[in-house]
Structure 1
């Protein structure tokens, strides 16, 4: 009898234990789901974005090449949410035969403390420019002055304005209507759109497929980031940098294909160094801002990382400092501090090429052919040592860039990857 009672007590204890564990699992799981759902609904507001844009379109305030498909025909739609900020909506999307990335700006989400009176959500700017009665010539002048303020005095601004007005004619009827002009003006206020248009002619950025208001769709880059592996954000802080770099290398293409992708980055650097519309600086050369196509052609997927050198110099000119650490723009652009004046100098410390070679060093050296590795390593380190304020920098920059491109091209010119 005693043994029987002990067995019954043990069984009851096991049941209670499993019941408790089941309850705890359900509780924790429900909490995780709630947190994830709350984060998702906070970040992913695509329906709000579409409703706001289509409301403006149906009122005749805005128009564009994608408006009818988005709002009337429902042939352009958003799929997976990629947003990391609630007011900057990013989705994968499709439009007929095109797969792409859809981006849209929304008003900021206001966070409240417990007990505070809720305030209305801050709305995005309205589409109020150009105003009714503005002629095409006046709009052309507005665009020209805007570009001049962004890029500085450039000889080719008039041709760039014509290119933008061609994009603004969404229905291709040979004229730019007021709603189309308002959409175009809204897009031009976003630096990433403007710089994307500048760079897509040379194939460096994804092509603009269509727009409606400040919602726009670009072609999708099938492979990215550069290393092919992007850890979920909760894991990034837990995985040591050394382990992460090793894991990154497992997900890269074969070496000849990496060489072709690297050539694309070097050509991007070459094209924005004293290019058609002035010089630009890449102020965040993280591998996740780059991807590549099926043909292993590099694409810059985050044009916000690029800034006109004129704009950079203006920003540095007014920046006060105590040390060099105070003179930083973005992530990778830095000048030195003039301690006597307590002002940042305008000249960038490292040129784009030096930063690009730093990004490519591990990428290219791993798996490099044995007969090439020593020379490649020597050239990459010489490239990384470039300084923006050094004498004869332009000549040295061109020499190192050409040598590095020639070295890579000799290795892949006879392969199918070329």
Structure 2
């Protein structure tokens, strides 16, 4: 005779099972919320940054074109947090009728000193220079010396110093006060700010709107990545890298618009090669470094890793190494290791153009018109094969860059997207 199972015992088992999985779901959910909240509070400390800046401003230590709006009138305020690292606070902003992006360095940040080791160095005291009693002439000498270390000896170094001093004069009264000078000096330690001054008249550089101390406000770029789609971090862990790359390429504009954006990137390569104030190396050519506006004009959204070639070479020449992997700055600037001297060689292995083509290859070939696809692929692979510095192969570099721009422009010049 079969004995039937006890319904009450079965019910108790199901209840325990249900309670266990409910507890597990609550635990996992709470852990996810905690991690997300902890990450947010660590990454998004903009109000602390603002409080520090405004405290310095009210004490008369610093001054700048954005100080009064940020600290007194409350017409400049922080919006959505975009920070990727705790020491570099990034927020959307509204300043009157202007939409912008606020970038603020925490007081305990690690600044990149590109004139020395190109490694993070901790500021002993923020806004400690220039000191009281420093004349404008002495401050100009400080600026000249700093710029010489960054961009190298140049005939037009005086012009660059004059440009920096004109930005430092935030109220345009023809006089640089000590608080203005302290703000300008702190900002000059930031590579992105220097680049924004150097490239302020270039189409693909976001406009500098104002500053206060080492907080500065830039033009807001509507689309902040060249391509790709954001997914929850948990999904990010589960998606294979190959599938992730394919997904990124699905979420892109139409091909003619991609071609226009790509022409913009090629033009930016021209801007930083043999520019008015020397050559600059693009040391991070990832999709997140570049964006575009609603007219599909490329804009560089993060210039912290666009470094002066002179400073890069000097820093690499002093760097000890045991292998080529030790001679890397950012994601994309590499030299080789001289094993006989245990020192990095100063010359970069790949020019900016080859790195830009690496970023554009899949982006441009996906959906390319059949009549130009073969030629486009040929030009891109010729570009990827470029080695050595652009100066060593200036003619080949210029030929490939112009051929690519011409090929793309011919295809879109008659369309509305151009």
TM-score (norm 2): 0.90
Q: Which residue does 1:398 correspond to in 2?
A: 398
CA contact (8 A) 2:126 2:186 kept: no
Q: Which residue does 2:189 correspond to in 1?
A: 189
CA distance, structure 2, for counterparts of residue 126 and residue 332 of structure 1: 30
CA contact (8 A) 1:284 1:305 kept: yes
SS at match of 1:200: coil
Kindly state the Cα deviation for residue 325 of structure 1 after the two structures are TM-superposed: 3.0
SS at match of 1:253: coil
Superposed, 1:107-186 pairs within 5 Å as 107-108=107-108, 125-186=125-186
CA distance, structure 2, for counterparts of residue 389 and residue 126 of structure 1: 36
CA distance, structure 2, for counterparts of residue 6 and residue 143 of structure 1: 87
Q: Which residue does 1:286 correspond to in 2?
A: 286
Q: Which residue does 2:229 correspond to in 1?
A: 229
* Structure showing greater relative contact order (alpha-carbon pairs closer than 8 Å, 6 or more residues apart): 2
**Alignment deviations for residues 11-59 of structure 1 (CA, whole Å, 9 cap, x no partner):** 5554444444434333332333223222222222122111111111111
Q: Which residue does 2:70 correspond to in 1?
A: 70
Unaligned runs of 5+ in 1: 110-121
Q: Bigger shift: 205-214 or 17-26?
A: 17-26
The 1:343/1:9 distance shift into structure 2, 3 A limit, reads closer
CA contact (8 A) 1:86 1:108 kept: no
Q: Which residue does 2:388 correspond to in 1?
A: 388
The 1:392/1:71 distance shift into structure 2, 3 A limit, reads closer
Q: Which residue does 1:46 correspond to in 2?
A: 46
The 1:391/1:45 distance shift into structure 2, 3 A limit, reads closer
Q: Which residue does 2:255 correspond to in 1?
A: 255
SS at match of 1:99: strand
Kindly state the Cα deviation for residue 186 of structure 1 after the two structures are TM-superposed: 0.7
Q: Which residue does 2:35 correspond to in 1?
A: 35
**Alignment deviations for residues 192-230 of structure 1 (CA, whole Å, 9 cap, x no partner):** 111122223212221111111111111111112101424
Q: Bigger shift: 24-33 or 313-322?
A: 24-33
CA distance, structure 2, for counterparts of residue 286 and residue 84 of structure 1: 14
Q: Which residue does 1:206 correspond to in 2?
A: 206
Q: Which residue does 1:114 correspond to in 2?
A: none
Kindly state the Cα deviation for residue 108 of structure 1 after the two structures are TM-superposed: 4.1
SS at match of 2:128: coil
Kindly state the Cα deviation for residue 96 of structure 1 after the two structures are TM-superposed: 1.2
CA distance, structure 2, for counterparts of residue 185 and residue 392 of structure 1: 35
CA contact (8 A) 1:106 1:123 kept: no
Q: Which residue does 1:94 correspond to in 2?
A: 94
SS at match of 1:217: strand
Count of matched residue positions in the alignment of Structure 1 and Structure 2: 405
Kindly state the Cα deviation for residue 387 of structure 1 after the two structures are TM-superposed: 1.2
The 1:281/1:123 distance shift into structure 2, 3 A limit, reads closer
CA distance, structure 2, for counterparts of residue 139 and residue 236 of structure 1: 49
CA RMSD of aligned residues (A): 2.5
CA distance, structure 2, for counterparts of residue 149 and residue 123 of structure 1: 18
Moved >6 Å (runs of 4+): none
Kindly state the Cα deviation for residue 232 of structure 1 after the two structures are TM-superposed: 4.6
Kindly state the Cα deviation for residue 147 of structure 1 after the two structures are TM-superposed: 1.0
